[in-house]
Amino acid sequence: MIKKRALVFNWIVSQNIDLVCLQETHGTHYETGIWNREWKENGGGESFWNCGTNDSRGVGILLRKDFTHCFDISMIDNNGRIQIGEIKTNTAVYHIINLYTPNNDSDRKHFFENLKNLIDLYADDSTDHYNAFLGDFNCALDRKRDRAPSHQNENTGLKELKSLLLKFELNNIWRSKFPTNRRYSFQRGNSKS
Residues tagged in the binding site annotation for Mg(2+): 24, 136, 138
Task: Tell me which DSSP letter residue 71 carries.
Answer: E
Q: Are 79 and 114 in contact (CB under 8 A)?
A: no
| CA dist., res. 137 & res. 26, Å (int) | 17
Q: Are 158 and 139 in contact (CB under 8 A)?
A: yes
Residue closest to 85 by CA, chosen among 99, 70, 100, 95 = 95
Q: Are 169 and 128 in contact (CB under 8 A)?
A: no
Task: Tell me which DSSP letter residue 48 carries.
Answer: E
| CA dist., res. 160 & res. 118, Å (int) | 14
Annotated binding site: 24, 136, 138
List CB contacts of 157: < 8 A, sequence separation 6 or more: 101, 105, 108, 109, 111, 112, 139
Q: Are 75 and 91 in contact (CB under 8 A)?
A: no
